[in-house]
Structure 1
């Protein structure tokens, strides 16, 4: 069972999400909060697998909340569900260690897929969010590809990166490449070091900027 904690300052949003999640057989809502401060206080009692949070909230927004969760609860994944579609918010949120980003106009099935993907160790970005990131890179960094192609990746590292971009979990990558989970983790660490990325979300941003994706 995947335990999810919901954070949104609108009660109707929380109620709707909870009702939908209750219809599934593998996801359970174990708690909810109306802002980041409220969430951190309740996380002392509830230790979910994933926190699904809005970004624009009073007292403590989702970006600051993600930072605090990653620091204080490293085993808990953070997934954004918001109306904030500005590339600056997307990048800030991911830079704090979040594992995914969805817009609130996404379909219910997409949210469920995101939860399952993040829980299995992957990252998830809705197509709209990916488009936002790509457009921002094209507009602000027209020479990004030339700047990052100097990083040399081995054939295996490229294969691992490609599967990460396809949202494969660690176990799925290991199975696809016929290697152990430890080997997959080692390749991921090497990719982070070589690209100067702080986390997998940053690695994906790098790949987009280097034009290493098929998006």
Structure 2
């Protein structure tokens, strides 16, 4: 029988949900959930205490948890264990949360309402390709050679660079529209014109291009 070396941690404070998902994943012999934790602190304790060969290479984490949430957990992994891939499985599908997790290196962002095939597809994609694309993490951030050759950080205006910086933060569009003294509809048009310059169609796509090219740290 084929036994996978892919070990997974399931980090979620909802015990029944966590156990159910872990048991379901374990039915697939390619993966083993060998760490279950109710928050980031619990996960780190178990991770540090495990033998190197038993440490998970993929961590499925909820965004919102008590004591140490998914954002803090992803930040810890990014700093201390960057080779460990993070899959976010959460009810929090706000744009700000997605942007924050992308900046923390999340390899997949999933809503808890997904069905089983998508969960396994995400795990397999993250394991084999390092990332899973979906509506939350769209495949619209082309590599640099596919962007218009004229676009560099300094080929856009300072005003446009400032807007890019704000769009790469966790600010919401309503607040930014008010700052720009625009209606939301006009602000969305302004964003769309900026997206076109970077050859992307969404704010998430812009964030990915900007981070990949280190336009904004």
SS at match of 2:72: helix
Give 2:191's match in structure 1, choosing from 135, 141, 144.
144
Deviating beyond 2 angstroms after TM superposition, the runs of 4 or more aligned structure 1 residues are 136-151, 195-198
Please state whether the residue corresponding to 1:142 is helix, strand or coil: helix
- Aligned partner of residue 105 in structure 1, secondary structure: coil
SS of match in other structure, 2:27: coil
Residue in structure 1 matching 2:24, options 20, 24, 33? 20
Contact persistence 1:47–1:76 (CA under 8 A): no
1:144 to partner: Cα distance: 3.1
Superposition map of 1:198-213 within 5 A: none
Please identify the structure whose Cα radius of gyration is greater: 2
Q: Is 1:192 paired with 2:212? A: yes
Deviation at 1:14, TM superposition (A): 1.5
Provide the C-alpha distance between the structure 1 equivalents of 2:131 and 2:189, rounded to a whole number of angstroms: 26
* Residue aligning to 2:93: 85
* Equivalent residue for 2:82, pick from 74, 80, 95: 74
TM-score (norm 1): 0.64
How far the C-alpha of 1:25 sits from its partner, in A, is 2.1
Aligned CA RMSD, in angstroms, stands at: 3.1
SS class of match (2:65): coil
- Partners of 1:30 and 1:48 in 2: CA distance: 7
Q: Which of 90, 102, 111 in structure 2 is aligned with 1:94?
A: 102
- Report the count of equivalent residues: 159
Q: Note the alpha carbon deviations across 1:88-125, whole angstroms, 9 max, x for none.
A: 11111111111110011100111111011011133224
Q: Offset at 1:141? A: 4.5
User: Equivalences for 1:109-120 in 2 at 5 Å?
Assistant: 109-120=117-128
Query: Which structure shows the bigger proportion of residues in helix conformation?
Result: 1
1:34 paired residue number: 38
How far did 1:147 drift? 2.8
Write the mapping of 1:150-189 to structure 2, written as runs, cut at 5 A: 150=197
Whole-angstrom distance in 1 between the partners of 2:137 and 2:127: 20
In 1, the alpha carbon distance for the partners of 2:212 and 2:98 equals 19
Q: Which residue of 1 aligns with 2:14?
A: 10
* Shift, 1:145, TM fit: 4.2
Residues 30-71 of structure 1, C-alpha deviation per residue, up to 9 Å, x if partnerless? 111100111111111252110000111000110111011111
- Segments of structure 2 that go 5 or more residues without pairing to the other structure are 139-171, 174-183, 200-204
The TM-score normalised by the length of structure 2 is 0.63
